[in-house]
Amino acid sequence: MRTIHRFIRWYNESMKHLDYGQLQTFWTVAKEGGVTKASRKLFLAQPTVSGQIRALERAVGQPLVRRSGRGIALTECGRHIYQYAEEIFALGREMIDGLRGATRENIPRVIVGIADVVPKMIAARLLKPLSRESERVQVICREGKPDDLLADLAMHRLDLVVSDAPVPPGGTIRAYSRLIGDSGVTFLAAATLAKRFRRNFPASLDGAPLLLPTDNTVLRRALDDWFAAIEIRPAIIGEFEDSALLKFMGRDGAGLFTCPSSVEGDVRRLFDVQVVGRTDQVRERFYAISVERRLRHPAVLTILEQSQKTLMA
């Protein structure tokens, strides 16, 4: 712990004087596992590489590497500095790649974060208009937990986040939420199950085998409230974070499952399932979240303009 504190003091005092050449040499030595391999990688003489490591150690005030067999091993402080260096040079590579991508044929790029709770077919419908643009658009789609995506949005690593809930009030991230989809819910199942539970829907759901999203999702909470309101208790056969896996299980006859009514036709065709029933008392809502109140990115504007035509049901 004392070593970490010394490193933090050094970092705070000398960050503005940091020699990135020495840091890159140290990072390469650590990555290659020794001075000899690093010198070949950097096209430098071994004494030069060793000298730069010693200079960085003098700046830190303690050793960063030690001998280990025929190679080297990092000290505790060395491991901490290596982790920072890894992030610094990864960001540098990302910056260069971004600049190259921006200049290559002048193709505009949009980076969209899709919350993992958003059905894949909803995401596909949102992004589809970009493929019809007269000018090509490079779409980079990243999936993750809503909180992680919002953090990336705040750091301007994403142009837009699509989620099933708006930004919570009073949060630390300042962002703007726009409702882009509002759909009722359709219950679907393999043919045999659909025929069995279609009659007298939704009362038929009492005791029916259901495949549901996990209880940390907005949809699951809405479904649970609806079941309680109409006084039915389905048999929950499985709970899934991955909505695609849930549908595949439903296709194979494991149980009934739901989808937004706006993409009901696509789900029926893709998974060869049939409708059990529909309800408008449970609504799935989807939001586009940005850090800008007034949107300017042409691709983002295209997504929002087309969304209400395809996601409302």
pLDDT, tens digit (0-9, with 9 covering 90-100), for 16-69? 456 778 888 888 888 888 888 888 887 888 888 888 888 888 888 888 888 877
Please choose, from the candidates 259, 260, 212, 264, the residue with its C-alpha nearest in 3D space to the C-alpha of residue 237: 212
The alpha carbon of 245 is separated from its chain's Cα centroid by a whole number of angstroms, namely 18
Domain shared by 69 and 111, yes or no: no
Asked if the model's pLDDT at residue 130 lies above 80, the reply is: no
Give the chain's mean pLDDT.
83
Which pLDDT value is given to residue 16?
47
Q: What percent of the chain has pLDDT over 90?
A: 33
Neighbours of 156 (CB within 10 A): 9
Confirm if 60 and 18 have CB atoms less than 8 A apart: no
In terms of domains, do 176 and 299 share one?
yes
Q: Check whether residue 120 and residue 207 sit in a common domain.
A: no
- pLDDT, position 210: 97
Q: Are residues 239 and 303 in the same domain?
A: no
pTM higher than the cut 0.75: no
Q: What is the pLDDT of residue 96?
A: 64
Arithmetic mean of pLDDT, 192-214: 96
Query: Do both 145 and 272 map to the same domain?
Result: no
Name the least confident of 10-19, 227-236, 265-274: 10-19
Given CA atoms 26, 31, 37, 42 in this order, what sign does their dihedral have? negative
Of 49, 75, 46, 47, the C-alpha closest to 60 is 75
Answer yes or no: do 8 and 18 share one domain: yes
- In Å, what is the CA distance from 139 to each residue of 106, 121, 151, 160, 181? 14, 16, 20, 11, 21
The mean per-residue pLDDT over the stretch 260-274 comes to 93
**Most distant CA pair in the chain, distance:** 83
Query: Do 277 and 292 fall within a single domain?
Result: no
Whose CA is closest to 302, among 134, 138, 114, 129? 129
203 and 257 share one domain: yes
Binned at pLDDT 50, 70 and 90, residue 308 comes out as: low
80 and 9 within one domain: yes
Q: Which residue, of 77, 95, 113, is where some domain finishes?
A: 95
Q: Band of the pLDDT at 100, cuts 50, 70, 90? A: low
pLDDT at 266 over 80: yes
Strands 176-189 and 257-260: antiparallel
Please give the share of the chain, as a percent, with pLDDT higher than 70: 85
In this structure, are 186 and 267 located in the same domain? yes
Backbone φ and ψ for 34, nearest 5 degrees, come out as 170, 165
- First-last CA distance in the chain: 57
Q: What is the CATH number of the domain that holds 280?
A: 3.40.190.10
Predicted local distance difference test score (pLDDT) of residue 134: 47
Summarize pLDDT for 84-98 with one digit per residue, the tens. Answer: 888 777 777 666 666
Range 215-238 average pLDDT = 95
If DSSP states are collapsed to H, E and C, what string results for 44-92? CCHHHHHHHHHHHHHHHCCCCEEEECCEEEECHHHHHHHHHHHHHHHHH
Domain count, the chain: 3
Same-domain status, 198 and 282? yes
Domain, as residue range, for 243: 182-286
Q: Residue 231 corresponds to which tokens in the numbers above?
A: 């006084």
Residue 238 sits in the same domain as residue 188:
yes
pLDDT of residue 45: 85
Residue 186 has pLDDT above 60, yes or no: yes
Using the 3D structure, point to which of 95, 114, 146 is the last residue of a domain: 95
